[in-house]
Structure 1
Amino acid sequence: MRLMLTGGGTGGHIYPGLTLLRYLEKMYGSIEVLYVGSERGLEQDIVKRTGIPFVSIPAAGLRRQLSLSGLKTAWTTVRGYWKAKKLVRQFRPDVVVGTGGYVTLPVVFAAAAYNVPSVVWEGNARPGLTNQLCARKAYGVAVCFEDTKKWFPKANKVVVTGNPRASEVLEVDEAQLAAARRQYRLSPGKKLIVCFAGSRGAETVNEVWAKTIPKFAEKPDWQLLYVTGDKHYEAVQCSLSDVPPNVTVIPFVHDMPAVLPQAAALVTRAGSSTLAEICSFGLASILIPSPYVTANHQEENARRLVDKGAALMIRESELTPESLWKALLTVLETNQGDALRRAAKQLATPNAVRDLGALVMEAWETRRPS
């Protein structure tokens, strides 16, 4: 099989595609792959680390309103489409898989121009415009929530699979867990709190943590692993005058699945891949949805867990050192923490990558000679 993967901007669009690729290789043998990403997204670093062939194209978010900036992004998308068509001609994929982000649109549309079947995966409860448009050209759409189907009325086929990350993260072994303990100086005898605000970090969340961290001196049986995001690491370091010994501040974690199973509490955004990991591991979490995303979809994601008693949520507008500390006490020092863990585990989708892989193979079969 010749597979063209696309998706980018944030880790939530990148890691599911990589998980799918590893599954397909495991199940079906050697696969020739080309990853098409955007010129500025995190895929430039994440995908290249894997050694997978990578090409970037121009990509920008489409706007519903007519404006000068809207015309500029439309022109960028057109240039990306032309380059994507050239890549499709040269690589000759059997199937294209798009996992979201602006770059998905020109690649899926280019594939359709040459009658190459595509599968679009949507991780959020409410999809953005890009995937809604791509769905009209795709063989099938995979979603994570049953009620997300309503956003794809013109799609050929919509299947609920869940997030591929839900399957892969459970494959972490004891050697990887031990390596993470050594690397991040995790103490098994302490209650570990892991905090990360998405793959890029978040300024407001970092500001609140800077004021909260000194209180960890009062809780020697707790331990905080605080991941700031590369962009904010230096600023956070400068804002911290006195860091207790049970707090570790780092810019990024590349092996998060080896860290998360050891956490007693997780404080994070509400991206789809993160929620999949929360459910797979049965983690007690405090979700701080990003208010800066399209259609406030992270709060809609978080609601899927909160309404089931599987997570706590603090809106960023309500986030203070006091509200954060109160939530941590609730999770770590009351029975509610155990209730959150049980409810989260019940929402896990361990067969997500298998079901997505089946849809991709089904799309591929439409192109194979009979």
Structure 2
Amino acid sequence: MRYLITGGGTGGHIYPAMAIAMEIRNRHEDGEILYVGTKEGLESELVPREGLDFRTIRVKGMPRKIGRDMFLAIKELVLGINDARRIIKQYKPDIVIGTGGYVCGPVVYVASGRGIPTLIHEQNAFPGMTNKILSRSVDKILITFEESRKYFKYSKKILLTGNPIRKSILEVDKDKAYMDLGINRNIPFILSFGGSGGQKRLNQAMLYVIEKNVSNKNMQIMHITGSRFYNEFMDEIEARDIELGRNIKVLPYFYDMPQGLNIADLVITSAGAITLAEVSAVGIPSILVPKGYTAENHQEYNAKAFEDEGAAHVILEKDLTGEGLNKAIEEIIHDSERLANMAENSRKMGRSDAAERIVDIVDDLMK
């Protein structure tokens, strides 16, 4: 069988696509997998590293305002559709799987027009424009959040699967994690990060939190600034004459996130789809600060879905202050009953078997 997977632009679309590809590879050793992305997208770096065949099409995101950029994007879209036709004609896939981002539009559109089984996966509570358009013609619409169901018109096509995550999140030795990270299991541990690239507003608020808790022996904090913000953050630490003790760690990037998530008592983070999938798979209480500049403001919808289920406390970026964040931390971390309830609600939202569920649906479509 030949599987064509497409999705790109950001990690939120790419990592689920690769998780699906890995599950297909594990389940069907004789299956052939082709990933289609763009030359400029992050997928052009990440996908070949996993040993997957990779081809590209020409396509750009569609601007919201009429102008020169829109006409250029339309031209690229036409070229992208022709590229997609050529690839599909040559590869002859048995099924096409799209995980969002503008790159998957031409590929899934052409495949559905040729009668090839197609499905899309939506990672966010508020669907992206590409998936909304493609939902009209695909065979199945797979969703991560129950809340996103109402934004699609074709309810009979929709299946709730969750968002695929890396297996390493579920395979952590906690005793080793405490030792490796130098964390005391008897003292509350807070892990703070603003997504893979960092979050400036969260960094600003965490400066206050760190300053207020630098001598607090009843709290451990690990804050990841994001590589581009690290020097600026540490300069401010020095300017405020803050001497970091053993209870507080500040890092530019954190390569051992699976370990950190598995031993954290509370996570402070933005509301990207992948992060929330991993947080809920482990079952961690969270304070969510959704980034206010994402497409369709999808992070705020994601965060609200977690808050509505009692799994998270949400602070919007525009309302975020160091004082307010510190108060929220103190109210949650020292309330064991609230922590336990949030953890249980987070776990209920998790779908650790999302990749398996998705490939089950893929297999059914190909029968």
Q: TM-score, normalised by structure 1?
A: 0.87
Deviation at 1:160, TM superposition (A): 1.5
Residues 213 and 243 of structure 1 are in contact (CA less than 8 Å); yes or no, is this contact kept in structure 2? no
Task: Say if 2:345 is the partner of 1:359.
Answer: no
Pick from 212, 216, 219 the counterpart of residue 219 of structure 1. Answer: 216
Task: Say if 2:89 is the partner of 1:92.
Answer: no
Mapped partners of 1:80, 1:232: distance in 2:
36
Residue identity matched to 2:310: G
Residues 291 and 316 of structure 1 are in contact (CA less than 8 Å); yes or no, is this contact kept in structure 2? yes
Deviation at 1:46, TM superposition (A): 3.3
Deviations 1:262-320 (A, max 9, x none): 11111111122222222221101000112112332221211112112111000000111
Mapped partners of 2:93, 2:352: distance in 1:
28
Mapped partners of 2:178, 2:77: distance in 1:
41
CA separation of 1:127/1:181 partners in 2, compared to 1, >3 Å: closer, same or farther? Answer: farther
1:27-176 maps to which residues of 2 (within 5 A)?
27-154=27-154, 157-165=157-165, 168=167, 171-174=170-173
- Percent same amino acid among aligned pairs? 32
Residue identity matched to 1:174: D
Residues 280 and 350 of structure 1 are in contact (CA less than 8 Å); yes or no, is this contact kept in structure 2? yes
- Where does the alignment leave 5 or more consecutive residues of structure 1 unmatched? 366-370
Secondary structure of 2:366's counterpart equals helix
2:335 corresponding residue in structure 1: 334
Which aligned segments of 4 or more residues in structure 1 are displaced greater than 6 angstroms? none
1:321 corresponding residue in structure 2: 322
CA separation of 1:200/1:60 partners in 2, compared to 1, >3 Å: closer, same or farther? Answer: farther
Secondary structure of 1:102's counterpart equals coil
Deviations 1:308-342 (A, max 9, x none): 21110000001111111112112211232222112
Deviation at 1:27, TM superposition (A): 2.7
Secondary structure of 1:252's counterpart equals coil
CA separation of 1:4/1:225 partners in 2, compared to 1, >3 Å: closer, same or farther? Answer: farther
Mapped partners of 1:155, 1:309: distance in 2:
26
Deviation at 1:243, TM superposition (A): 5.4
Mapped partners of 1:24, 1:132: distance in 2:
25
Count residues with an aligned counterpart: 362
CA separation of 1:31/1:201 partners in 2, compared to 1, >3 Å: closer, same or farther? Answer: farther
2:226 corresponding residue in structure 1: 229
1:291 corresponding residue in structure 2: 292
CA separation of 1:140/1:319 partners in 2, compared to 1, >3 Å: closer, same or farther? Answer: same
CA separation of 1:225/1:37 partners in 2, compared to 1, >3 Å: closer, same or farther? Answer: farther
**Quick check: 100-109 or 284-293, which moved more?**
100-109
- Where does the alignment leave 5 or more consecutive residues of structure 2 unmatched? none
1:269 corresponding residue in structure 2: 270
CA separation of 1:48/1:248 partners in 2, compared to 1, >3 Å: closer, same or farther? Answer: farther
RMSD: 2.7
Residue identity matched to 2:212: K
Deviation at 1:154, TM superposition (A): 4.6
1:209 corresponding residue in structure 2: 206
Residues 39 and 59 of structure 1 are in contact (CA less than 8 Å); yes or no, is this contact kept in structure 2? no
1:368 corresponding residue in structure 2: none
CA separation of 1:254/1:2 partners in 2, compared to 1, >3 Å: closer, same or farther? Answer: farther
2:5 corresponding residue in structure 1: 5
Residues 192 and 267 of structure 2 are in contact (CA less than 8 Å); yes or no, is this contact kept in structure 1? yes
Secondary structure of 2:78's counterpart equals helix
Secondary structure of 2:102's counterpart equals coil
Mapped partners of 1:362, 1:286: distance in 2:
39
